[in-house]
Structure 1
Amino acid sequence: MDNTLLPAGHGLMMSIAAVERDTGLSKDTLRVWERRYGFPQPARDPQGERAYPLDQIERLRLIKRLLDVGHRPSRLVHLDMSDLRALSERTADAQGLDGPIRRRALRTTPPTNTPATPTSHGRAHLLASASAPTWSAQVPGPTPQWVERCLVHVDRHDPIGLRRELAHCQNRLGLARFISDLAAPLLTAVGNGWLRGRFQVYQEHWVSHYLQQALHAAIQTFPVLNDDSHPRVLLSTLPGEHHSLGLLMVECWLCLEQAQPINLGPQTPVWDLVHAAQACHADVVALSFSAYAQPQLITDALPELRQKLPPHIELWVGGSHPLLQRRPPEGVTVLNDMPRLTDIVSDWRQRHAPAPTEG
């Protein structure tokens, strides 16, 4: 009942749980908007549960995309589809096809002394994008040639061709450059193409799916490490941050760095993070925040997590949210670019190296 289309008097309908999974908008958000703004307006199925018509779901998808690039719900929820599409076009014009909205992105000074490409040791420079929050604030430049080749397959509705292209690019580029030169900017380009009406939501879904497949396959090629010289890093996001693909990119980078990542996926509640960190004997809990995360996640939930974690478990936080740059919580290590993350991993190893024996 919570994952299928529901027949009702108004045609095909979806349950609230299915709408949550399809749009990324939580059940609580949908209910609050219904009370506060009068939209969405679900019908009721024979059991009295909310059931949403497909035209409202399409509108909710577009609202969610605009929320992800910085618009406020109070501005969006009252707009009809034609106005939302017009706003999407203006937003895409403001940000271009290759990066985040300029008025927001330019608030952050790009990191200095950052290599244009990762080193041969796998320092994968993960680019920032709304769809894949990462530990870098650099504003992307022109669309890389590898991305253009993949977009041709997306335009042609050719997922099999995209799979072949991704496999070819991964073999040609190596994993580090595959992430920096292809995966992250491809997600940005597809997301912005969706805003412009160039791509449909199902195209975005299969692009994300095949990128995840490629990254999962790459992770499986790394040996499973099992000694105390490799930090055990628990990866997740807090509730409200849905971006699992960004976590997967960071997991790949940690594998390249010979760490031991444990990826819980997105949206893990604070107490679950605490219990998981202790049960898994984690050395570090690492979280990612997009630029548009709710401020309360940083001002309230992050200090709460730090307080509940045992002191010996470090808390690393990455992302492009302005609050992380201005006033990070006490006891939290902020990683806003790859060189910093590299230094922190190296520093952890030095601090936990066994003491030299005498004689």
Structure 2
Amino acid sequence: MSDQANHPADTPLYPIREVSRLTGVNAVTLRAWERRYGLIRPRRTPKGHRLYAREDIERVERILQWLNRGVPVSQVRELLEQPDAVEAPPPAAGDWESQRRQLIAAAEALDLARLEALFNQGLSLYPVATCIDELWQPVIRELEEGWDERLGADLQRRALEAFLRTRIGTRLYHANPVAAGPLVLIVPMPDDGGPLWGLLAALAASDRGYRVQLLDAPLPVQELPLAVERFHADALLLASGRAEKADLIRRQLPRLAEQLDVPLTLCGPVARIREADLNGTGVEVLGDDLPRAMTRLQSLTQAA
């Protein structure tokens, strides 16, 4: 990897914030890849600021390709040094399943210190969208299935909600003032057991540059237009891990979509379960894969 530190003098160089914008990898993760794993070696200014060449950016993109195939970050450097013809292993070769098992065990044991370590480790080493896709969505789906029948389920759910509310809320607090994107209002739906899917949606939206206003309890349907108006929201995103009542889905939401001047969108398992019920209505069904849901949301808010 010696060529990473010896760019020609006339090579265009980019600051870390621009590399983050171009690749979608936040600055904390880029620094971790450099310090802990030696995956990239940017130049430094006399004051110590990092500068990245186009080759560094291409290397970051190659790193993302390996991570998206499920390769643990600790194994990526060796793969990068091999010839380009080397094929990526199948997704099962990664350690995502092990990390998911650790998260589930920590949540069930109410081990908040372990949750803290795993949460921070994931977001420092992987892009937010990858963490949501590979870790948090599968973990919450599995936990919710078990919570339907398990003694102590309410305690586990509330503890995890409180944990994520604090950590994601802190990220929103720092990200919102500098975000340049539209404002999305995220509200859980009435039958959902809590705000877990809304919290994940907020994390995914913030990662895409949205300003996020998150409510962690449902609002009556008739108050949602007022909330959109008062928060000056550019989109309303409703989230739920449940199917929700038929009357709400088939009658109230389509009527609400007609009243709003901004997109009314739906995400989480409810979007997958109820997609057929909302075909042909004004409700935009984004799906239960939150990073992909944010891509669909971007097309709607850009069009608006």
Structure 1: gaps spanning 5 or more residues: 1-114, 119-141, 353-359
Note if 1:206 corresponds to 2:159.
yes
Give the corresponding residue for 1:314: 263
Tell me how large the CA RMSD over aligned residues is: 3.2
Residue 276 (1) aligns with residue 223 (2): no
| 3-state SS in 2 of match to 1:146 | helix
1:161 matched to 2:114? The reply is yes
Q: Relative to 1, partners in 2 of residues 1:182 and 1:234: Cα closer, same or farther, differing over 3 Å? A: same
2:250 is the alignment partner of 1:299: yes
Residues 247, 288 of structure 1: 8 Å contact kept: yes
Q: What TM-score do you get using the length of structure 1 for normalisation? A: 0.50
Deviation at 1:269, TM superposition (A): 1.0
Q: Does the Cα contact within 8 Å between 2:278 and 2:285 map onto a contact in 1?
A: no
Partner SS state of residue 177, structure 2: coil
CA contact (8 A) 2:192 2:242 kept: no
Provide the residue aligned with 1:172 in structure 2.
Answer: 125
Task: Return closer, same or farther for 1:283/1:202 CA change in 2, 3 Å cut-off.
Answer: closer
**1:332 equivalent in alignment to 2:283:** yes
Partners of 1:280 and 1:215 in 2: CA distance: 20
Q: How do 1:1-359 residues align onto structure 2 when only pairs under 5 Å count? A: 117=68, 144-154=97-107, 158-194=111-147, 197=150, 201-225=154-178, 230-309=181-260, 312-321=261-270, 322-328=273-279, 330-336=281-287, 337=289, 338-339=291-292, 341-346=294-299, 348-349=301-302, 351=303
Could you list the per-position Cα deviations for residues 54-87 of structure 1 after superposition, in whole angstroms to 9, with x for gaps in the alignment?
Answer: xxxxxxxxxxxxxxxxxxxxxxxxxxxxxxxxxx
- TM-score, normalised to structure 2, is 0.58
Q: Structure 2 vs 1, CA of residues 277 and 143 (structure 1 numbering), >3 Å: closer, same or farther?
A: same
Q: Shift of the alpha carbon at 1:244?
A: 0.8
Offset, 1:340: 5.5
Retained in 2: the 8 A contact 1:235–1:264?
yes
Letter in 2 for 1:308: Q
Contact 1:237 1:266 in 2 (8 A): yes
Whole-Å separation in 2 of the counterparts to 1:347 and 1:197: 39
**In 2: Cα distance, 1:218 partner to 1:173 partner:** 16
- 1:289–1:198 Cα change, 3 Å: closer
In the TM superposition, residue 304 of structure 1 has moved relative to its aligned partner by: 2.6
Q: Is the 8 A contact 2:179 2:209 kept in 1?
A: no
Q: Percent identity?
A: 19
Aligned to 1:75: none
Name whichever structure is richer in helix by fraction.
2
Tell me, yes or no, if the aligned pair for 1:235 and 1:262 is still in contact at 8 Å.
yes
Aligned CA distance change for structure 1 residues 161 and 346 (closer, same or farther; 3 Å):
same
Alpha-carbon deviation of 1:191? 3.6
Equivalent pair of 1:285/1:315 in contact (CA under 8 Å): yes
How much has 1:339 moved relative to structure 2?
3.5
* 8 Å Cα contact 1:287/1:316 also seen in 2: yes
Q: Distance in 2 between matches of 1:306 and 1:258?
A: 24
Higher relative CO (Cα under 8 Å, sequence separation at least 6) belongs to 1
Partner letter of residue 246 of structure 2?
Answer: P
Deviation at 1:236, TM superposition (A): 1.0
Deviation at 1:342, TM superposition (A): 0.7
